[in-house]
Amino acid sequence: MQHEQTYAPMLAALENALTGLPRDSQSRHRLAMMREFPVFVESEMDGMAARWAKHRRKVERELTRS
């Protein structure tokens, strides 16, 4: 799936903000977690799209047999 256009600006801004914060700061931790959420969502969406494609093929085969 194409997520780059959706999340890229936000991820770039978060990466930029992270570079200016001390490694052990709470702010850096919060921003790092904020950055990881869309990364997680992207992987979940990719997995869901793959599962849907597999399910759809199965249903299509079943429908053409009827």
Cα-based distances in Å from 36 to 8, 9, 42, 46: 12, 14, 10, 15
Confidence of residue 62 (pLDDT cuts 50, 70, 90): very high
pLDDT at 5: 74
pLDDT digits over 22-38, tens only?
999 999 999 999 999 99
Which pTM was predicted?
A: 0.67
Query: What does the angle CA 5 – CA 53 – CA 57 come to, to the nearest 5 degrees?
Result: 155
Report the C-alpha gap between 31 and 10 in whole angstroms. Answer: 11
Q: Which two tokens stand for residue 65?
A: 């047999």
